[in-house]
């Protein structure tokens, strides 16, 4: 199986590669459209500011390729946010795969960014096979996708939001699977084996 990771200026790629290596997968890191189109599965990771990450995607002309991909694609963190219609961060137009917007957390009581462990619930996708309701996963973010008909898991921080989204062959999680211990590893394994 050929698994490709989308190469752009979103950070944290090495952690994703290590997590996949632990599952016995040696991924290809590329921004080559032909290599991406021929991969069996694709991961769209990301850490960084949505506007500059989207600019990098556009410069590589991947903004036209990504929404047309037919194989399973998994967005992680900023990858999820860029797959939505719009993000308030950097006033960024997204890839419009998921029909929802990304808004900044607004709270006087809770620290922003949300940084650390939080639970996921209302799980409804093969992505979460064997994952218990209210399992803990690891987050670092100040912006979150609003709830919508593509929501397949939720988390509550300042308000309920989309912890994960799915539409057809596109999956995405706001949390960092690669930093979420056994639960994160199981979700990556499910993406590889069940999606």
pLDDT digits (tens, 9 = 90+) for 9-44: 776 789 999 999 999 999 999 999 999 999 999 999
pLDDT at residue 46 is higher than 90:
no
Which pLDDT value is given to residue 78?
95
Q: Report the predicted TM-score, pTM, of the whole model to 2 decimal places.
A: 0.96
Which pLDDT value is given to residue 92?
96
Average pLDDT score over the chain: 95
Q: Residues 52, 141, 115, CA angle at the centre, nearest 5°?
A: 140
Which pLDDT value is given to residue 47?
86
pLDDT digits (tens, 9 = 90+) for 153-173: 999 999 999 999 999 999 999
Which pLDDT value is given to residue 157?
96
Which pLDDT value is given to residue 159?
94
Measure CA 144 to chain center. Answer: 11
Q: Which residues are known catalytic residues? A: 77, 176, 178
Domain count for the chain, please give it.
Answer: 1
Residue 185 lies in domain: 3-194
Which pLDDT value is given to residue 121?
98
Three-class SS of 20-76: HHHCCCCCEEECCHHHHHHCCEEEECCCCCHHHHHHHHHHCCHHHHHHHCCCCEEEE
Which pLDDT value is given to residue 48?
86
pLDDT at residue 181 is higher than 80:
yes
CATH for 180: 3.40.50.880
Q: Using only the alpha carbons of the chain, give its radius of gyration.
A: 15
């Amino acid at each position: 199986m050929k698994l490709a990771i989308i190469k752009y200026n979103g950070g944290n790629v090495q952690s994703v590669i290590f997590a996949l290596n632990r599952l016995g997968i040696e991924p290809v890191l590329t921004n080559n459209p032909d290599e991406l189109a021929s991969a069996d599965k694709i991961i769209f990771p990301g850490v960084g500011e949505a506007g500059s990450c989207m600019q990098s995607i556009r410069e590589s002309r991947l903004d036209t390729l990504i929404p047309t991909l037919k194989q399973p694609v998994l967005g992680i963190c900023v990858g999820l946010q860029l797959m939505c219609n719009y993000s308030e961060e950097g006033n960024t137009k997204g890839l419009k795969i998921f029909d929802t917007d990304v808004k900044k957390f607004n709270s006087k009581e809770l620290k922003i960014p949300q940084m650390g462990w939080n639970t996921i619930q209302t799980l409804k996708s093969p992505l979460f096979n064997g994952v218990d309701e209210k399992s803990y996963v690891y987050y670092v973010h100040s912006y979150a996708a609003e709830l919508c008909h593509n929501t397949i898991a939720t988390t509550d921080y300042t308000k309920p939001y989309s912890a994960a989204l799915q539409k057809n062959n596109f999956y995405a999680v706001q949390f960092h699977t690669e930093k979420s211990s056994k639960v994160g590893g199981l979700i990556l394994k499910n993406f590889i084996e069940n999606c």
